[in-house]
């Protein structure tokens, strides 16, 4: 295996910034749908009941999540074969197309049923994009980060993820100052989607100049990764031809030589424990995140009875503070470990979700509402700040993007994407408080995972591979774990 020389800190920061800016725009495009759905719901869905309109847009929001596992598989596999940079560039291109489609689609009264169909199509494109974005971004930031600071640098995934939501809210606040309510409902909501499409095109160009992950380049050059599908000679020859064609295409694009095509899902099945661990890690975190962020805006308007303008400011300030917490908690995890922060989130989330949501639903005081939302965001920081690095530390380079992306996206699609729909359906049925217990129960399930898992910062495949590469070049047998097989992830 070739040596992977540690990049300078300045180079690391530059790559993290370029990757993070793209991540911000992608998540802005994803969240602007949720931020402005209170305005465009009546454009795409004919109904007199505001809750029914919101439920319809929430359903489309949830359907978009169904594409995330497909995006996690397609772009994760692409990232493991052709590089993190190429996959990130592709994902933002698809996102631009989805945002532009929403921006230009006429309303229901103009084109009838075609309006919600096109909205759904656009959301599916965005789901495909963001499904691949998460895994590839988590993988890229974890791999380019400096040893001993991976928790800190990888936390910028959620810094930019939440910052994307903040920008969406910021655009909403600005538009609310200059446009009337009627103008926002009629055409003003289209402006943020135009902004998102334009920003995505800029990022598409920006990402082409990012450095490729050194670990990917080392894995691509490693002859041990030249694994073939099947055992027959003809299959060997067929795969060799495909490998050479892929290498020639990559060379023309100026990219590093990719590992050969292989049965990616078959490879992933070699890591069942790690895949189940990713799902267990994600379950409570994704339900809590979408509850405390995207659904919180509708909850305060629909249940607490706070005005739309005030709710926008409450969400903006709370999320701004939340962003600041991410690198602080990420840096803390580099000192005390990842598992302690996860357990903090699991215990506090299980015990305090019901009281926080119950009190928040019965207050009209903006300051009290902000304090309650902020307390929930402090709790979830234990998950959001480090979930990317924890998952990346479980898999070897050759399967890392797919290993992180597919089980994560499946869990988010099933639980995160349906959170808002379940909450609104229970409210419509007159049983809203049941949803509070549902969130607490999901967090409790994840808490059991956090309790039994091993500390990943001390059993990281990222560090094991770097150590193995260094020892191979120096001819030293360090006795480290085989990098192609992750260390155990369950406590003894």
446-463: per-residue pLDDT in tens?
999 999 988 887 777 777
Q: Could you count the other beta carbons within 10 Å of the beta carbon of residue 147?
A: 12
Q: Is the pLDDT of residue 365 over 60?
A: yes
Mean pLDDT of 191-220: 80
The secondary element (H helix, E strand) that includes residue 384 is helix 366-384
Burial 356-387 (b: 16+ CB within 10 A, else e): bbeebbebeebeebbbbbbbbbbbbbbbbbbb
Q: Residue 337 and residue 458: Cα distance in Å, rounded? A: 8
What's residue 234's pLDDT?
Answer: 36
Task: Mean pLDDT check: name the lowest of 182-191, 202-211, 270-279.
Answer: 202-211
On whether the CB atoms of residues 399 and 361 are closer than 8 A, the answer is no
User: In terms of CATH, what superfamily is 9-221+263-474?
Assistant: MFS general substrate transporter like domains (1.20.1250.20)
DSSP state of 490: B
What's residue 23's pLDDT?
Answer: 79
Q: Could you count the other beta carbons within 10 Å of the beta carbon of residue 336?
A: 12
Label residue 232 by pLDDT band (50, 70, 90). very low
Q: Could you count the other beta carbons within 10 Å of the beta carbon of residue 307?
A: 12
Residue-wise pLDDT for 24-60, tens only, equals 888 888 788 877 877 887 888 766 666 666 667 767 7
Closest CA to 280 of 455, 458, 62, 442: 442
What's residue 385's pLDDT?
Answer: 92
The mean predicted confidence, pLDDT, of the chain is 79
On whether the CB atoms of residues 284 and 443 are closer than 8 A, the answer is yes
Residue-wise pLDDT for 390-439, tens only, equals 888 888 877 888 888 888 888 988 898 788 889 988 988 888 999 999 99
What's the Rg (C-alpha) of the chain? 23
Q: Is the pLDDT of residue 128 over 60?
A: yes
Residue-wise pLDDT for 285-344, tens only, equals 999 998 998 888 889 998 888 988 898 889 889 989 999 999 999 999 999 989 999 999
pTM of the model: 0.73
């Amino acid at each position: 295996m070739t040596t992977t020389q540690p990049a300078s800190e300045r180079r690391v920061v530059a790559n993290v910034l370029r990757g993070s800016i793209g991540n911000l725009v992608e998540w802005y495009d994803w969240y602007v749908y949720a931020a402005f759905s209170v305005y465009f719901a009546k454009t795409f869905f004919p109904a007199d009941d505001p809750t029914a309109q919101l439920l319809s847009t929430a359903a489309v929001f949830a359907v978009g999540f169904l594409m995330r596992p497909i995006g996690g598989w397609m772009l994760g596999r692409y990232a493991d074969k052709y590089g993190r940079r190429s996959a990130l560039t592709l994902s933002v291109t698809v996102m631009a197309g989805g945002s532009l489609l929403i921006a230009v689609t006429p309303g229901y009264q103009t084109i009838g049923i075609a309006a919600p169909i096109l909205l759904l199509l656009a959301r599916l494109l965005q789901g495909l994009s963001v499904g691949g974005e998460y895994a590839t971004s988590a993988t890229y930031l974890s791999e380019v980060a400096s040893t001993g600071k991976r928790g800190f640098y990888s936390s910028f995934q959620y810094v930019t993820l939440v910052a994307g939501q903040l920008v969406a809210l910021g655009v909403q606040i600005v538009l609310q100052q200059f446009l009337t309510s009627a103008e926002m409902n009629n055409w003003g909501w289209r402006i943020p989607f135009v902004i998102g499409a334009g920003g995505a095109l800029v990022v598409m160009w920006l990402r082409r100049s990012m450095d490729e992950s050194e670990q990917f380049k080392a894995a691509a050059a490693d002859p041990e990764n030249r694994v073939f599908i099947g055992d027959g000679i003809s299959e060997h020859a067929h795969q060799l031809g495909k490998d050479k064609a892929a290498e020639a295409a990559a060379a023309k694009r100026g990219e590093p030589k990719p590992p050969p095509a292989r049965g990616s899902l078959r490879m992933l099945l070699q890591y069942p424990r790690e895949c189940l661990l990713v799902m267990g890690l994600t379950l409570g975190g994704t339900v809590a995140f979408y509850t405390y962020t995207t659904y919180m805006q509708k909850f305060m308007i629909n249940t607490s009875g706070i005005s739309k303008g005030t709710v926008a400011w409450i969400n903006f300030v709370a999320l701004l503070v939340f962003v600041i917490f991410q690198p602080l908690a990420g840096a803390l995890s580099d000192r005390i470990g990842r598992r302690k922060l996860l357990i903090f989130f699991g215990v506090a989330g299980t015990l305090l979700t019901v009281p926080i949501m119950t009190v928040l639903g019965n207050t009209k005081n903006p300051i009290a509402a902000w304090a309650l939302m902020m307390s929930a965001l402090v709790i979830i920081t234990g998950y959001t700040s480090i979930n990317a690095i924890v998952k990346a530390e479980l898999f070897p380079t050759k399967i890392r993007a797919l290993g992180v992306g597919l089980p994560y996206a499946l869990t988010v699609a099933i639980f995160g994407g349906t959170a808002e729909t379940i909450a609104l359906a229970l409210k419509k049925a007159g049983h809203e408080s049941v949803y509070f217990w549902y969130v607490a129960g999901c967090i409790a399930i994840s808490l059991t995972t956090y309790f039994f898992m091993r500390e990943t910062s001390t059993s990281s495949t990222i560090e094991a591979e770097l150590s193995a590469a260094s020892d191979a070049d120096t001819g030293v047998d360090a006795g480290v774990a085989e990098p192609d097989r992750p260390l155990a992830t369950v406590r003894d």
